[in-house]
């Protein structure tokens, strides 16, 4: 029954998409590799943000084979600034697995492809429906919003049950002859018309059969619980320098973060959270003592920047420091670099916020 009633809506959606689909870079290539890269990049990330990264990435790593043979550092450098860096690590790992476990061919079987690191329900369905025409509905944030309004589903979309309901509904109406276009059309509708705050219902191909519109509930659907407030920390960082004149003069100490976990594999300056009541000046000395086994002298404040991560916020207090006593001892990969060499290493966005001041300091 649902199937028959939805037929007209699916056709209407298809016509709308034919007229309004954006000309996006990844829509010009339908091979699995290109679609896969785009879907990973688009995860929780805006289209406008992704476009330049996608172009650069495919220029740098034109094939899966090239990606698999690249170093993780090169991969992270290409990903720098995009965020959610586990995506990059997983994609790199997956590329290597395709080489070793699948003879270099990206598996077109759902279960096999889904088993690769970083490939979840969404990406597996998206890549294989768009790239291979498999009838697998995608359920992303857009689709969730569109279907909840269209069908009047009031389940909290943060819950797994909502995703399951929506997927089940879509599985019954996804056209077997063009599942990829249907999936793209649903997402495009969410991105261009069925907007979160002010949906443009007058332009919507589903307006004649939309539950939320008919009942005046577009503002109430989908139901989404609020996220709890995030903690805020003060962090003190040490830009440790070697004075010019001495051997290796004018260099800065940097270290690599552990590969797993927050900002894994990226580079940073030593430092850490201020304890309750502890001044940043004190924290920076303590952290260098604990992490590196050295006494430093803070010569002055370089910058103070704020940054919001996905699950907490920080005030960064950046100090220009000099080694006073001891030799740095650490198990982590590290380097003494010139200011003009910093750009060779991938750094988190929060660090980039004070790079201008850093350059200013070292070039004057």
Where along the sequence are the contacts to DNA (CB under 7 A)? 24, 26-27, 38-39, 42-49, 81-86, 90, 117-124, 126, 140-142, 145, 159-161, 184, 187-188, 190-191, 196-197, 224, 226-229, 261-264, 306-311, 348-350, 352
Q: For 248, left (φ over 0), alpha (ψ -120 to 50), or beta?
A: left
CA–CA separation, 205 and 118 (whole Å): 34
Q: How far is the CB of 272 from DNA (least distance, A)?
A: 14
CB burial string 165-191: b at 16+ within 10 A, e below: bbbebbeebbeeebbbbbbbbbbbbbb
CA–CA separation, 104 and 96 (whole Å): 8
Alpha carbon 170 to chain centroid distance?
A: 26
Active-site residue identified among 39, 80, 184, 287 = 39
Our answer to whether residue 341 is catalytic in this structure is no
Q: How far is the CB of 329 from DNA (least distance, A)?
A: 25
Q: How far is the CB of 5 from DNA (least distance, A)?
A: 26
Q: Rounded to 5 degrees, what are φ and ψ at 187? A: -70, -40
CB 153 within 8 A of CB 146: no
Structure tokens at 175: 């056209």
Structure tokens at 189: 């509708």
Pick from 128, 99, 96, 97: which is nearest to 111 by CA? 128
Omega prior to 222 cis, within 30 of 0: yes
CA–CA separation, 239 and 322 (whole Å): 8
Q: How far is the CB of 237 from DNA (least distance, A)?
A: 14
Q: How far is the CB of 129 from DNA (least distance, A)?
A: 11
Compare residues 90 and 330 and give the one whose CB is closer to DNA.
90
CA–CA separation, 200 and 194 (whole Å): 6
């Amino acid at each position: 029954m649902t199937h028959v009633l939805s037929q007209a809506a699916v056709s209407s959606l298809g016509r709308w998409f034919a007229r309004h689909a954006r000309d996006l870079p990844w829509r010009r290539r339908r091979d699995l590799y290109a679609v896969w890269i785009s879907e990973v990049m688009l995860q929780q990330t805006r289209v406008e943000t992704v476009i330049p990264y996608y172009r650069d990435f495919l220029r740098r790593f034109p094939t899966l084979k090239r990606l698999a043979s690249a170093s993780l550092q090169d991969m992270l450098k290409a990903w720098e600034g995009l965020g959610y860096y586990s995506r990059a690590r997983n994609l790199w790992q997956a590329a290597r697995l395709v080489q070793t476990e699948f003879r270099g061919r990206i598996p077109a079987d759902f279960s096999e492809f889904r088993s690769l690191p970083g490939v979840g329900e969404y990406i597996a369905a998206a890549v294989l429906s768009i790239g291979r025409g498999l009838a697998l509905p995608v359920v992303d944030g857009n689709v969730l919003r569109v279907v909840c309004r269209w069908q009047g589903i009031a389940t909290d979309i943060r819950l797994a049950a909502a995703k399951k309901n929506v997927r089940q509904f879509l599985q019954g109406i996804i056209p077997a002859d063009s599942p990829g276009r249907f999936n793209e059309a649903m997402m495009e509708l969410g991105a261009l018309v069925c907007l979160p705050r002010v949906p443009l219902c007058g332009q919507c191909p589903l307006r004649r059969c939309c539950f939320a519109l008919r009942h005046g509930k577009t503002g109430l659907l989908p139901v989404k619980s609020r996220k709890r407030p995030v903690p805020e920390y003060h962090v003190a960082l040490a830009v440790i320098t070697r004075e010019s004149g001495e051997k290796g003069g004018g260099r800065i100490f940097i270290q690599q973060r552990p590969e797993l976990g927050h900002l894994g594999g990226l580079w940073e300056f030593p430092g850490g959270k201020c304890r309750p009541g502890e001044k940043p000046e004190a924290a920076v000395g303590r952290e260098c003592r604990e992490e590196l086994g050295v006494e430093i002298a803070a010569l002055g404040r370089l910058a103070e920047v704020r940054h919001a991560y996905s699950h907490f916020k920080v005030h960064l207090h950046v100090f220009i420091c000099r080694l006073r006593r001891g030799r740095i001892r650490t198990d982590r990969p590290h380097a003494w670099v010139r200011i003009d060499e910093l750009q060779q290493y991938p750094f988190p966005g929060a660090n980039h916020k004070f790079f201008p001041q850093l350059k200013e300091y070292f070039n004057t």
